[in-house]
Amino acid sequence: MRKYSNSGFAGEMLVAAELSRLGYEVLLGNVGTKKTIGVDLAAVNPESGKTVSISVKSLKKKNAFLIDPEKVRSDSVYVFVITNSAGEKPEFFVLKGITLLSNEKDIFGKWGRDYAQKHGRGIYANKLEQWRDCWDVIDDD
């Protein structure tokens, strides 16, 4: 059996597929690279023409999503995806950057911007449960 090693690429593809299933036109950014600055995908509502930037954060299994609150873009939508193993359904948590920032203390806990080690800043998956499958935030203004 092959080793599953790139949850970032898998997460971006799963999010792109789900957006497409939901009726959005999807534009792929720098998929699978680490050079993307805050935007991995764009979702276009074909009825309104509204385009939203999507930042994808992926894990293979429940753990902490590494994300620095100082780099969160308030105007982007963040999709946190737990890809799980092949044959298992992925889990999606969808919220706006402004929501992440306005609830920073609750969502990040002690691992937010006050945490001295920037490489350790992040969000535990259980803190995102209320945004499970909240794809409707993409069209909220």
Mean predicted lDDT score pLDDT of the chain: 89
In a domain? residue 69: yes
pLDDT digits (tens, 9 = 90+) for 106-132: 999 888 888 888 778 899 999 999 999
Q: Which two tokens stand for residue 48?
A: 């309104």
Strand residues in the chain grouped as ranges (E): 25-28, 41-44, 51-59, 64-66, 77-82, 91-96, 122-124
Answer yes or no: is pLDDT of 48 > 90.
yes
Give backbone dihedrals phi and psi of 14, rounded to 5 degrees, phi first: -65, -40
CATH number at residue 100: 3.40.1350.10
- Mean pLDDT, residues 44-52: 95
Is 1 a domain residue? Answer: no
Give domain status of residue 92, yes or no: yes
The pTM (predicted TM-score) of the whole model is 0.90
Q: Has residue 2 been placed in a domain?
A: no
- Domain count within the chain: 1
Domain span at 88? 7-138
Write down the pLDDT at residue 26: 96
The reply to whether 16 falls in a domain is: yes
Mean pLDDT across 62-72: 93
